Structure formats: C-alpha cells, structure tokens
Chains A and B, each alone.
Chain A
C-alpha cells in the first residue's frame, strides 16, 4: 500500500477548494451568524450569544412551522412509500404494457416542482378546478372545496401534489429492488402454497429492505426540506397553515431581513434532519439485518 503522492494532492485540490469555499465556509458561518443580530442591511453586526435560539423557542411561528413540517413529512413519507411500492409491485412483470407504464409513471418526476405547483393550483381552484367540476357533475357539490384556500384542506392538497410529483421516482427504486428478488424463491413459495400476500410479506418485502430504507430516508429528508412546491402553490398560506421550516426561514431572511434569526432557524432544520436520519438509519438497518 502506497501513501499519498504529490500528484494525489493535485487530484483532490480542486474538489476540496470548491467544497470548502462554497459549502463548508458558508455552513460554518451559519453557526456564527445564528448568534448575531445580522440584518443584511446595516454594516455593524453584534454578537448576541444564544438570544436568537432563546427567541426561537418562544416564537409560536417557529413551533407552527415545525409542526407543519413534521405533519407534511410524515404524511408524504407514508403515502408516497405505500403508493410507490404498490405501483412497483403492479408493474413488476414482463410485457410491453408494463414497460410503457413504468416510463409513463416517471414523467411527473421530470417536470419542475415549480411547473407542477402551477398546474395543480389550477386544478385545485374552486372556479376552474377539475376536482370540483367532477364532484358537481356526480351530484356531490356539497363536497366541493377551496382546496388551497381553505385552511382545513391546504396542507392535504399540497401533500397530495408532492406525492403525485415523486411517486414515480420512489417506484423506480422499489422496482430495482424487486428485480433483484430471485425468481426461484417466489416459485418455491408458490409451490409451498403461499398466497400472493404471504409471498410478498415473507419473501419479497424482507429482500427489498435496502430499497425500503433508502426510499424512506430520501422521502423523509426531502420533505423535511420542502420549499419549492409550497412557495409556488400557497406561499405558506392561508395564514400559516402550510408554512414549512424552509419557507419560514426564507421569509425571515429575505423578506424581513432577519438574517441572523433566519440562520438560527436553518440550524434547527439541520438538527431535526440530522436526528431523524440517525433514528431512521439505526431503525431500518436493524430490520435489514434481521431480514
């Protein structure tokens, strides 16, 4: 085994430089700025210790955003994984039609969250929306809603749009897992008289545990950071019913110039993501081993 040569430093240097300058340095600055009253405007910024954090823990806006984010993340993680696993199982067969469906189901993932947010705003609209039109046409006009404007429904509507956007992506990951399950094992189970559900429960599901782990983590982290789709569809409203942590910290920093306070919220977002990732990895990996 050889140690580092001169040329090796040449290989690493560009990556290291860019990474440190445009990521590590700003991340470290965030921890510093979160203890200042930096407002982005005045030249003088003073160190305020843990004042921002102190304020943050008593700020009902922050608690509300935190609660919204956790609700959104939990709903998206569960819905999206159930749906995409079901879709993956359904299209995991030979044949042209199933191949075409796989491609078709992935198309929403290719469109930007921004575009999808606009399309769905139109669909949810109480005037032009297809959901209300359909409900009225079958005589259920009592069920029509202002899907994004009603605080009772806004979060659910945004959640569904997000699942609609990403279900195909998770499906592809589950499919890759499913295609690694040896055919002989399924056949053996069939010969032993296992029904479809038992075959899935006892053979397929344990074997696709790595795909399950990665999908759970990806959807959870992605939805804890949610910004684009909410910013486009509701800007966090009505009221603050759809304000996520990422939306709140954007508003604080760039609409109200509370840059120091904004970074403190970003630090909280980081801590939450970090804790949840560790819990999930520990929990899911253990299940993988048992499987």
Chain B
C-alpha cells in the first residue's frame, strides 16, 4: 500500500516541546525507566521561550531553606504566602489545587535543576526571598545539560508535531513534519506529553518566533478542553531602533528614573498607589500595560503604536551611573554594553541625549491553554500537558514564574506519564488516521487560487492586533473576530507558490495558520463575552473587575458545530472566592482589603 508517511518511529512516551517543560518531562519519565522520544520544533533544550527570559525566578523562602538548604533564603516569605500571592495575582481565577502543586513541587524539581545548572556552568545570582537571576540562555543551559547527561532520551529536533493519533479514546502517538527535509513523521507511543509552549498571536512579541499555539490546538482537535484563552501577558518592549523591535531593553532599564509621556509630550500620570505597586514587584508589567495601554487606546500613541519613556527627569550623572551599573551587572551574561546579541549604544545615546524613547507592549506569555488537573492529566487518556501550553496556574495574570511552572509541571507530567506507560499496552492508531493527517498536510501543495500562506499568516496577526490589544473594546474585538472567522473559511485553500517540501516556510505558515486561527478565535470569543476587566484582559468599555458576574473560566471544547463555549468556576481548596466589584484592575491590587504582599524586592545593586 502506498503511504504518505515517510518515517515511523515507535517509542513509549512522546514528549512534544524542547524547552523546560519538555526536558523535565522527558528526564523524569526516563529516570522512571520509560523509553522517551523528545520532539522539538527548535533545538532540544534550547527551544521555546525560556531562552528569552530576562529576569529571574524563585520559590518561597521556607522551602528554599528547608528543602534546598539555601542559607540566604528569607523564610518569612513562606509557602502559605506564596500560595496566597499566586491566587490573588490570578484575580482568583487560578485553580487552587494546581497552585498547590506549583508551591509543593517547585523546590523538589529545583534540587535537580540547580545541580544541572552548576554542572552546565550557568551563572545564577541569588535574589530575595529565594530566587535566581540569570540570562535566558543561562536558564536554558541546565536543560541542555540534563539531556546530555541522560543519553537514554531520544531527541528529534526541527520537527513540528501537527496532530495527535488516537485509538478509540486514547492518545497513542502523533504526526509531524521534519522542517528541513519536509518529510512526514509518524510516532507511535503509549502516551504523549504536550509541552510545546503557548500562543503569541500579536505582532509585537518578545518571545521566540513560531509560538503558534500548536499544543493547545492539537489537544483541542483531539478532544481536550481549552480555557482562559483571552488572557495574555505583555510588558514594555522595544519599538525603536526598529531593527531592535522585540528587545526587552525598556523593561530592563525601568529602574532608571523616567516619566511616561504621550505623543504630544504630555505626561501620562501614574497614580501614587499604582506607582507603589510597580516599584515593589513584577506588578510593574500590569501597571505599565494599564497606563501606557490606556494612553495608546485614547489615540495618544506614537508612530509605532507605543507610549514614550522620557529619561530627562534624571541627571546625566544618575543616568550614566545607572547605565554603567546595568552593563556591569549584565556583563556576567552578555558582552559589556550589549543585551543578548545586540549593542545598546544607540539606546544609551537616546537616553543620555534626553530623546524620549517610544516603547510598546509586547506579548510574553499566554495564561490560557489546555485544561489540566494537578497530575497534568488532560481528561483524555494518555494525554498529559505541562508548562505554558496549559492553563490553571496563573488565572488572569501571571506574576509568578513561568520558568518555575515549566519545571514543576514538566516533572509531574513526566512522572505521571511514566507510571501510565508502565501499566499500559502499546496500541496503534489505524493507519487511515495517520494517512488522513498527512493528506491534510500535503493537500496545500495541490491548492490553487487561494490566499498565499505568508500573507494569510500576516492577516491573522493583524486581526489579533486589533482585537487582542492590551486595552481592548467590544467593537474592535467583534470586528477582529469577524476577520478571523472569514480567514478560517479560507484556511484550507491556502496556496503555496513553492512546491518543494524542503524548508518550505510557506508550508509551515499554512500548517501553523490552522492553530493561530483557532487560538485567535477562542481568545476573541472569550474576550467578547467577558464584559469586565480582569488581570491582563482589560476592556476600555468595561473597566470594572466584576467578581459577582465573571469570576469563572470560559472553556472551549470541539463539537461538530465548532467550538462550544461554557463557563466553569475556579477550583477552591483554601481561599474562598471574593464577591463585589473593583473599579479597575489596578484598584483591585491597591485595595487594602486584598491584603496583598509579595515582599519580593529585587536588589539590583547586590
């Protein structure tokens, strides 16, 4: 029989994703004696968003002392406080049993991770109450180290997994494309862990490219539930110089005294209590989104769609000292005067010359994704998920650490999937199913007269830019949704000009478009229904946080008639859900009754 499958690989556990969640899942499953294949879209251990991290991560000080033996850890920020903070930061939308898993398992996985880091030569700087600051590459090196030390883990790089294989209601493998050769790969497995990251749909991103929501989309198509899709975290990101677009230097320079201004040079006034929030914690991301985003929403943005950071309020000496301190501190990880591979000279000149710098809000992380339980089970037999691709840990707003989430969820997923594999028989999906997936991939080469794939992807991005802005409104969301639904109709007729399968970017764009269209549609539908503001979903037409009417998730499940939407209350284990309303997302935090205290002051002048 002729087949469209170019290669078939048999394994016990397939792990999809080459960043922290995927590597830890693969590692712990392998330690439990399971045969593992890790498939990565980029380079294994160095793929995904972890390499783009710019700050630090941490756990509670009590666990830091007791479990990790870190003397400098501050036990006053204990397990209960971390739990309390995470739930409040999520606007009470987090699943409290999943938060508990994060609190309990983080120090456990860090025991191993810190050893890999030491052997990999990563440079970590201790921060209070119990955390580590490093560059993204230094956070990723331990993952590469773990793979190097665990040769039993098979890896397949530069491969995009497209869809899952099922035998009755159980997941038994997947089909993907090897990007260089264009070959179609079938993988048979007893179970699958999806750890392939989230969905960054807007044009201004500070992540790696191609975070096209592959994990949530393939899980959805296999019957899993997606939720919280409307919540995306953004923070100050470079617009200029244009060739540095997407750099996070503005965020790193946030401690150099500056004021926010609009296109007319008028100050964007940040309320005093909000300033207090911003100064003390990672809440500055939300504060910047609120104030910068509102100015832009009022039509006061600059030519690149951002607000301005004006450093003229600091003296030359203050600025010079701050910049030099930054370079010195970051020269542990980057060339002096550089951030990542880019020279900061032109930015330095702009700051010293009091030239206001236009800054945008780039997306970093998606809170929504695949619904899981604390064992990383998806409700579909044989299918587990971990890391950014899941939802439940951070609710409406992530202040806690994505890096920690990826490690502790990856560990749990690997352990649970390994236990499942040990007791499960190997089963194979019908060949016809794999052939159908391959046919769906290859039919793009036969299409004629449809929209070009690259232009199609660009249209999705533009629609998401309109509807999923940091400050949103109903009219734009509706219009963007209409655009996405119209695009969806044309997705299957996307036409490729290049007919070679080898490294065909048009083909990849066409295949990814199915995933971004889906994630975009669900995010917009939830954003439209959520007629309130909560966390990173901020609506100019509904600024109030409304606990009485909207303290629930919007879930989506595949049906014959498309994605069916339903609501679900967050799981409560310890902290009862609040009632009433708050004037806006900032007042939610500044309200003394919330009793929010992260006490997470990062000392940048060690």
Chains A and B bind each other: no
